[in-house]
Amino acid sequence: MLRQELKELTVSTRGRGFYECTEQISSIVEPSGIQVGVATLHLQHTSASLLIQENADPEVRRDLERFFGRLVPDGDKIFRHTAEGEDDMPAHVRTALTAVNLSIPITEGRLALGTWQGIYLWEHRLAPHHRRITIHLIGE
Amino acid sequence: MLRQELKELTVSTRGRGFYECTEQISSIVEPSGIQVGVATLHLQHTSASLLIQENADPEVRRDLERFFGRLVPDGDKIFRHTAEGEDDMPAHVRTALTAVNLSIPITEGRLALGTWQGIYLWEHRLAPHHRRITIHLIGE
Amino acid sequence: MLRQELKELTVSTRGRGFYECTEQISSIVEPSGIQVGVATLHLQHTSASLLIQENADPEVRRDLERFFGRLVPDGDKIFRHTAEGEDDMPAHVRTALTAVNLSIPITEGRLALGTWQGIYLWEHRLAPHHRRITIHLIGE
């Protein structure tokens, strides 16, 4: 019998960078008892992203940070929305270039992630923030 | 009892820019009576995007437009698919860099958007277009 | 009566480029008998993407490849995660800039794709790979 669940998760960040939340999300999916289904994750912000990326070598995340820092530089003179600081508009652009929601199938009671896939909250602002993720599960 | 609905929405654009459609989508979600569930939005085009972004300062959207205009310039000599004009291939690239589908949980009968999140149809072509969005709702 | 199905698809690539898999995915969706619902596709890798793009002129895909090749060049000195080769980290960045999951409504027993939309596995590595896609269907 198909059923659903809705949960909330808050990730507290210490400023720009990657915060792995695969374990926290799995600790919601697995106790639900849903064996087959789909998990929808939605981040309720416009200056941070949800990203599935390599979870082995941490240099991958540092390289991603370096690349995005060069592609969307803080303090770029092209931006006029600067009231909240030099990292404000770059954070919105980085979010537009990535994603705030993910849909991941559930199989054998677990997220159907690949061997090297981790789920990250990618904080784009320099200051610490509390980031809310809404998690919807459906399946049986 | 879980149930589903399927709707269509057409957004008529006046050329490149952001068209907020949060209200139009809410006016489909809320009368459905679904209290908890998930809404899947799919844009049936390859030269426009669906983007969740800041809905307060309109300068944010103008800055996004300026940034993407510099990142993917119209008339870039790298492009060979130019039969439909200088903005044709940049529109495809902007679409690839963003998204054409979104999955947003429903809670308390409404889309679980954050305070500052709005849903935008981002038209990338210079000319006006009619853009179709398919909306699937599931929940109870 | 709502029901669900879970399937797996493997796409074998011959190295960097676009591999259309619309037909393969349709050949899972259509026999399911689901008339209205939603298909969730999840690629279990971090160096390839799932992209919905124009399926008419193949020059569009070549232009996308040229643009991304310039935006995220192989061998860029900014990258330190280079153990697997000059195309390794660019493949992760290209994946971050695009998507590994898609949610597409089903209507009249078929994916609700627009006329010009095809679903592509975009291989970002230079060498051939076997890429796994998990496909979840729900509907009735």
Structure confidence by residue, pLDDT tens digits, C19-51: 999 999 999 999 999 999 999 999 999 999 999
Position C13 scores a pLDDT of: 98
Write down the ipTM of this complex: 0.97
Give C-chain residues touching A140 at CB under 8 angstroms: 4
Position B42 scores a pLDDT of: 98
Give the pLDDT confidence of A54-79 residue by residue, as tens digits.
999 999 999 999 999 999 999 999 99
* Closest Cβ opposite residue C63 in set B81, B95, B138: B81
* Closest Cβ opposite residue A46 in set B52, B99, B138: B52
Average pLDDT, chain C: 98
C93 touches chain A (CB under 8 A): yes
Give strand pairing partners of A19: A121
> In terms of Cα–Cα distance, which of B19, B11, B75 is closest to B44?
B11
Does A72 sit within 8 Å of B38, measured CB to CB?
no
Neighbours of chain B (3+ CB pairs under 8 A): A, C
Residue B83 has pLDDT above 90, yes or no: no
Residue A80 has pLDDT above 90, yes or no: yes
pTM as predicted: 0.98
* Closest Cβ opposite residue B46 in set C53, C70, C138: C53
Position C83 scores a pLDDT of: 87
- Please state the rounded mean pLDDT for residues C119-123: 98
* Closest Cβ opposite residue C101 in set A62, A103, A116: A103
Give A-chain residues touching B53 at CB under 8 angstroms: 46, 92, 95-96
Does B98 sit within 8 Å of A103, measured CB to CB?
no
Residue B127 has pLDDT above 90, yes or no: yes
B27 touches chain C (CB under 8 A): no
Interface test with B, best of C61, C72, C103, C124 (most B CBs within 10 A): C103
Does C100 sit within 8 Å of A103, measured CB to CB?
no
Q: What is the DSSP string of chain B?
A: --EEEEEEEEEE--SSEEEE-HHHHHHHHGGGT-SSEEEEEEE--SSEEEEEEE-S-THHHHHHHHHHHHHS-TT-TT----TT-TTHHHHHHHHHHS-SEEEEEEETTEE---TTEEEEEEE-SSS--EEEEEEEEEE-
**Residue C57 to chain A, least CA–CA distance (Å):** 25
A84 touches chain B (CB under 8 A): no
Position A83 scores a pLDDT of: 87
| Percentage of chain A lying above the pLDDT 90 cut | 99
Residue C9 has pLDDT above 90, yes or no: yes
Position C38 scores a pLDDT of: 98
| Percentage of chain C lying above the pLDDT 70 cut | 100
Average pLDDT, chain A: 98
